[in-house]
Amino acid sequence: MKLVADKVGYKYYRKNKKVLFELKETVLKPEEGKLTEIVGHSGSGKSTLLNICAGLLTPDTGHLLVGDKDLYSLSDEERSRFRNAHIGIIPQGQSVLKHLTVTENILLPISMYREDTPTNLLNELIENLGLKKLENEKAGGLSGGEMRRVAIARALIGKPEIILADEPTGDLDADNRKLVLTALKNIAGEGKTVLMVTHDREAEEYADKILKMDGGILI
Amino acid sequence: MKNKFKINATDVILFLLSGLFLILLYTAFAPCGPKEDGSFMRCQWAWRANVALAYNLLFLSLVHLIANRPEVKLGLSAGIVGIAITGLLIPEKIIGLCMMDTMRCHTHTKGGVYVFSVLILVTVLADIFLSVIKVKKNN
Amino acid sequence: MKFSTKLAIKNIKGHSARSSALIILAGLLSASVFGGSLIVKSLRNGLHSYEQRLGADIIVASEEAIDSGKYESILLQGVPGYFYMDDSVIEVIEGIDGVESVTPQFFLASASSGCCDTLVQIVGFDPDSDFAIRPWISESYDGNINDGDVIVGCNINIPDSNRYKFYNVDCNVVAKLEKTGTGLDSAVYANMNTIKQMMESSSQIGFGYFEDVEPEHAVSSVLVNVKDGYSVTDVQRNINLGIQGVRAVSSKDMVSNIAGGLGAISNIIGVLVVIIWLLSFTILTVAFGMIVNERVKELAVLRISGASKKMLSRILIIESIILSLIGGLAGNALTALIFFPFSDSLKLSLNLPVLIPDFSYVIVIFATSILTSIVICAITSTVSGYRITGKDTGLIFRDGA
């Protein structure tokens, strides 16, 4: 599924209404079947662009086209269902529901709108991401790396065509970093659109295409 | 297998309720004393029976508090249920109270016995429910 | 079960401390409405019942009985008392212009005998002329009240033998009256012949109740009904002016005294309920606000997984409904558990008639108060939820909340 960010722009304001940061009108067309990386310093606008691509941040200007849909012209209900069906998101930091088990966390997108549990895919993800021993544990007791792997499994469980990852290797040790990056590379290899935002130099080795962002402009 | 010693909220509530009940039976819920001629009215015997049961409740709830195995707790809880129900029946059914509903044994003792017996019953039933879940889990 | 409900239940279970605090708050809110309404309604019922049971336009008794409050104590609290005047007043009252009917009543305080007895108010009435007690008795007993028969108020427990002895007179209990919430519930009713037997027996065993009055010609009070078209106040004044040593009081005055006290208590309860409501509402709003802020990341995780704003609101509302339902049920059950067994203590301490409303009314206010608590919790959680769901999820992750 094609993802096209067409001249999307966004401004953050201070409390006194002055502009704090501006993502200049940006065009982004990550390719299907490739792992596209956006690199840049902190505060360069990478996450803002990624959030716009995820349908989580309404741009001030431009359009976001996913397949044949202009995502921001949809209602919140339609956009949410679309995101659930087609976009897998791995957000920054820890993003698990701590009072749910690892399996319950992974199955969140499925249990929202679908009846049947994809048992085979679930087992495969749990196995591949090294979560087998933890599947019935409460997510609150996991380490940072384990939580990140749960977030990846959750992003993939709905078989989305587009994967968006925001700093997926942040605060991970070398082994976990490798595991996560390999997983993303493999997903891209399956013909999916994978867009990753990072400032991890090591991650560049895995990328098919690298874009740089600086001061709100995609270079 | 070594069990970890763990006190549940229901254990503490049961013990506190039983203790408070006993204290109040001697104070706020006590019926009137002996008559001028030194004899006692019927309520005195009902009250004494309830006091005796309250001591039993306190003892069982203390053991319940320090007992570790859910099976033991379950047995103790069953005993507490029996005592609480007996306590509930004493004022009206088993012994009975005095002639007028406006007398102290009706306005204070009976009300107190009802309130605490029901609270203890509810707590112990909740405890039984939780213990059964634990026993099932252990098995 | 739908996802929203399943997740709401898991959220409640997963945060037991937070859930308990909210349950207590919701319980307090519901219990204050339930308890407040129950007390006010019981007092109002008591007043209404008192008004009905007075059963006459004017009550005449000795000055001492009225001025010392003895008469009112009997009616309100059932404190046994006795006071007498000569029955010649009946004829004088009958002769006063505007008087339609009169009936005497006779009050006797029983002596304490037996192991569990206490002093009981015995009320004698004349079945031939009575218009005040008969209608009440007929609600629970339609037979004749023969000599030696007594009817007891609902506060008096009937022994297994069905018999009571008052001043050595063996009495047969033929009926128990409906509750009125007044002192009349603690009295025993008998016809004048039975009362005379008791009087004679009491004199024989040395009770000197009738030192100043001839027992054969003693009455405690006279109830008067006024003819249509005559003013109660005028008739009352004429009795007071025409007969020495007695005091005539209109039922309206007696009721309005009580109504004044009841009004003050209702107001205090009303103010207390409003204060508890405002406090609970404020605390709930702050609590839900804090909780939603604390859960902002959790809600964002749901958003990225595909939850719509509507779904998030639904989860928050279901959570608040479950919590307030549990809190409301527990709070109201506890209130009922304390109120019903102690309602007689309440009556004694307030010195007002208290008559518990019927079961259907209790059920209605039980349900209404829980519903109110649910609505308040749902509104406060929706307001807090709206603040979060109105924000772009991207900003939540950016703000690192």
Quote the DSSP letter at residue B90.
I
Residue B114 falls inside a structural domain: yes
**What pLDDT sits at residue B5?**
61
Which of C161, C344, C354, C356 is the best substitution to test chain B (most B C-beta atoms within 10 A)? C344
Cα end-to-end distance, chain C, whole Å: 31
CB contact under 8 A, B101 and C185: yes
Q: Is A128 near chain C, with CB under 8 Å?
A: no
CB contact under 8 A, C311 and A89: no
- Please write the tens of the pLDDT for every residue from C293-314: 778 888 889 999 999 989 998 9
Structure tokens at C270: 């009303």
Q: Which of B135, B130, B136 is nearest to B10 (CA)?
A: B130
Percent of chain B as helix, strand, coil, to the nearest 5: 75, 0, 25
How far apart CA A208 and CA A191 sit, in angstroms, is 13
Count CB-CB contacts under 10 A for residue C282.
11
pTM for the complete prediction? 0.81
Which chains share 3+ C-beta pairs under 8 angstroms with B? C
Structure tokens at A98: 């701590």
CB contact under 8 A, C15 and A96: no
Q: How many residues does chain C have?
A: 401
CB contact under 8 A, C304 and A89: yes
Residue B2 falls inside a structural domain: no
Which of B24, B100, B130 is the best substitution to test chain C (most C C-beta atoms within 10 A)? B100
Count CB-CB contacts under 10 A for residue A182.
12
**What pLDDT sits at residue B4?**
57
CA triple C200-C202-C203, angle to 5 deg: 65
Mean pLDDT, 10 residues at a time, over chain A (219 residues)?
89 83 88 92 87 90 90 92 93 88 95 88 90 92 89 92 90 82 90 90 88 86
Residue with tokens 């008739």: C235
**What pLDDT sits at residue A60?**
92
What's the total number of domains in chain B? 1
Strand blocks (E) in C154-297: 163-166, 169-176, 187-191, 218-219, 221-226, 246-250
How far apart CA C394 and CA C392 sit, in angstroms, is 5
Name the pairing type of β-strands A209-214 and A35-39: parallel
β-bridge mates for residue A10, sequence order: A23
ipTM of the complex: 0.91
Q: Is C345 near chain B, with CB under 8 Å?
A: yes
Helices within A23-136 (DSSP H only): 46-53, 76-86, 102-106, 108-113, 119-128
- Closest CA of chain B from C366, distance in Å: 18
Q: Please report the DSSP string for A169-203 in residue order.
A: TTT--HHHHHHHHHHHHHHHHTT-EEEEEE--GGG
Q: How many residues does chain A have?
A: 219
Report the SS3 class of residue C107.
strand
Is pLDDT above 90 for B61? yes
**pLDDT tier at B27, thresholds 50, 70, 90:** very high
| Portion 150-209 of A in contact with C at CB < 8 A | 154, 158, 166
Name the pairing type of β-strands C169-176 and C163-166: antiparallel
Which residues, including other chains, have CB under 8 Å from residue C40's CB and lie 6 or more apart?
C266, C269, C270
CB contact under 8 A, A99 and C393: no
Residue A163 near residue A37, CB atoms below 8 Å: no
Report chain C residues whose CB lies below 8 A from the CB of A85: 306
Cα end-to-end distance, chain A, whole Å: 24
Q: Is C337 near chain B, with CB under 8 Å?
A: yes
| CATH number given to A3-218 | 3.40.50.300
Structure tokens at C247: 């005091």
- Please write the tens of the pLDDT for every residue from A30-52: 999 999 999 988 888 888 899 99
Q: Where are the domains of chain C?
A: 3-49+258-399, 53-251
Dihedral of CA B73/B74/B75/B81: which sign?
positive
- Please write the tens of the pLDDT for every residue from A102-114: 999 999 999 999 8
- Please write the tens of the pLDDT for every residue from A173-185: 888 888 888 888 9
- Closest CA of chain B from C188, distance in Å: 11
Q: Is C158 near chain B, with CB under 8 Å?
A: no
- Closest CA of chain A from C15, distance in Å: 8
Which of C388, C396, C397, C399 is the best substitution to test chain A (most A C-beta atoms within 10 A)? C397
Q: Which of A128, A143, A116 is nearest to A187 (CA)?
A: A128
Residue B99 near residue C157, CB atoms below 8 Å: yes
Report chain A residues whose CB lies below 8 A from the CB of C305: 84, 89, 108-109, 112, 154
Dihedral of CA C143/C149/C155/C160: which sign?
negative
Residue B1 falls inside a structural domain: no
Which residues form the domain of B75?
9-30+38-138
> How far, CA to CA in Å, does C271 sit from each of B36, C33, C274, C333, C354?
45, 11, 5, 23, 20
Which of C291, C304, C319, C392 is the best substitution to test chain A (most A C-beta atoms within 10 A)? C304
What tens-digit pLDDT sequence spans chain C (401 residues)?
Answer: 789 999 999 999 998 888 998 999 899 889 988 998 898 889 888 888 888 888 889 999 999 888 888 888 888 777 788 888 888 999 999 999 999 999 999 888 876 555 446 778 889 988 888 888 888 888 888 888 889 999 999 888 888 788 888 888 889 999 898 888 888 888 899 998 898 888 888 777 777 666 666 767 888 999 999 999 999 999 999 999 989 889 999 988 888 877 887 788 888 888 888 888 788 788 888 887 888 777 888 888 999 999 998 999 899 999 999 999 999 999 999 999 999 999 888 887 887 888 899 999 999 999 999 999 899 888 888 888 777 776 677 666 655 43
Considering only CB atoms, C337 lies closest to which of B100, B102, B118, namely: B118
Which residues, including other chains, have CB under 8 Å from residue A62's CB and lie 6 or more apart?
A5, A6, A7, A8, A9, A25, A26
Q: Is C342 near chain B, with CB under 8 Å?
A: yes
Q: How many CB pairs under 8 A join A and C?
A: 88
Smallest CA–CA distance from C345 into chain B, residue: B107
User: What is the mean predicted confidence (pLDDT) over B67-74?
Assistant: 86
Which chains share 3+ C-beta pairs under 8 angstroms with A? C
Q: Is C17 near chain B, with CB under 8 Å?
A: no
Structure tokens at C10: 């898991």
CB contact under 8 A, B99 and C156: yes
**What pLDDT sits at residue A163?**
94
Residue B3 falls inside a structural domain: no
- Checking C79-84 for CB contacts under 8 A at 24+ apart, the result is C79/C121, C79/C183, C80/C109, C80/C110, C80/C119, C80/C120, C80/C121, C81/C107, C81/C109, C81/C121, C82/C107, C82/C108, C82/C109, C82/C209, C82/C220, C83/C107, C83/C220, C84/C209, C84/C210, C84/C212, C84/C213, C84/C218, C84/C219, C84/C220
